[in-house]
Structure 1
Amino acid sequence: MANYMSNNIEEVHEYRILNKQLATLKVQAGFVEGVAEGKRTFNDITKMYGSIFGNNKEYCVILWNGIPFRLSYTEDLPCIIVPFSKMLKTLLERTEKEWQIDFKSNHFEACWYFSLDKNQMLTISGNFYKVAGGHEKAINTLAIVRIAEEDFLKEWKLLLEQYLKGYEDSGSVLKNINDLFIIEDLKNANNRIKNKALRYQYDKR
């Protein structure tokens, strides 16, 4: 239940998932255009991606149990590159049975708690503190997502490719060794995640 005050009258809203197909996590990456080139050197990977995606007006939209929120390519995705890399690496390497990932950017702040069972089903419990549009309460009423590990990884494949292609196409140079390790972790994840989500798998005939 979500409770809030409006015009001094308490309104109570109950959010339910009406379609079982929505009871999951889906990632709709945007169209990346106008990657900034110039072979610039950066001391920080966040600033690098802020430059690479600086001309992009698109959004990455995430459906959390059917409730959407968006991430800006210019203001949000550069800021979450480090936790994004850690999220994929932890899952692929199975270094933990339970772990948490903290995200923080201009329009998005959340903590996701992960657990993986013996059947490779992933449970994600989210605490959302800030999303674009201000509907954190709605998402927090449906805070738990269950999704097969393989499907979860497929959802992020296209965005992962966009991060890597943006880096390669821009010719950017990273000076910090830890940032270079992050790029290597992203490349490794991309190699290990073989397929995108089904809706991205086009017929090539």
Structure 2
Amino acid sequence: MSFWIQTGKPTLLEVEEIPDDFAEAIGIIYPPDTEYLILSWNRIPVVVNYSEDLRVFIWDIVELLEGLQDPEFTESHVTTGASSFFAEWWIRRDGAQLIIDSRWSSVVGSYEFLLNERSELTVDAAVFTAEWLKLLRRLVDDMTEKAVRMEDDDLFLRAKALLAASGG
């Protein structure tokens, strides 16, 4: 498979304060030195830090997954924006497939050149969505386990709605 996500079981911290939103909660619940998320892009493993990287672009992922639910979805642009996981993806639908043209600027290990050599990813839209939903399941389950409350829980509720819509 050319695209998959391994969420693992990252360490969870107790959250005593009330974070502003889902992104801040991600940065608080996962310590910086916990297990990494692994994303495989055209068979190249890319590590993503939960607390420092994922929190920066979780909003974009939720918005993308919401967009992919729309049968009229044709294209999107995602910028991850994290300092050690910075990439831009130009996504377009071609039937049941997504064609993603990417530009990688920063990854842990400094092998952006390899990712840029394999920048175009073609993946079944259902597979792409299911892989990201695995990540959302990990995040929602961890937040629920630690009873994290947020000032603004809109993005968290949208993530839960995506999971419910998928039957998960």
Query: Separation in 1 of the partners of 2:22 and 2:136?
Result: 15
Is residue 186 of structure 1 aligned with residue 162 of structure 2? no
Percent sequence identity over matched residues? 21
Instruction: Please say if 1:105 is aligned against 2:99.
Output: no
Q: CA deviation at 1:44?
A: 3.8
Superposition misfits of 4+ residues, deviation over 4 angstroms: none
Counterparts of 1:126 and 1:94, CA distance in 2:
23
Aligned-residue offset at 1:48: 1.6
**Stretches of structure 2 lacking an aligned partner (at least 5 in a row):** none
Q: Cα deviations across residues 25-46 of structure 1 (Å, max 9, x unaligned)?
A: 11111213334243x2122432
- Which of 36, 59, 73 is matched with 1:96 structurally? 73
Higher Rg:
1
What CA distance in whole angstroms lies between the structure 2 residues aligned with 1:145 and 1:53?
A: 29
SS of the residue aligned with 1:147?
Answer: strand
Q: Say which structure is richer in helix.
A: 2
Aligned to 1:33: 11
| DSSP-derived class of the 2:80 partner | strand
* Cα distance, 1:98 vs structure 2: 1.0
**Residue 115 of structure 1, CA deviation:** 0.7
Q: Is the 8 A contact 2:10 2:36 kept in 1?
A: no
TM-score (norm 2): 0.90
What is the match of residue 154 of structure 1? Answer: 130
Once residues 130 and 41 of structure 2 are traced to their aligned partners in structure 1, the CA distance between those partners, rounded to angstroms, is 15
One-letter amino acid of the counterpart of residue 66, structure 2:
K
Residue equivalent to 2:38: 61
| Match status 1:42 vs 2:19 | yes
Taking structure 1 as the reference length, what is the TM-score of the superposition? Answer: 0.75
| Mapped contact 1:34–1:55 kept (Cα < 8 A) | no
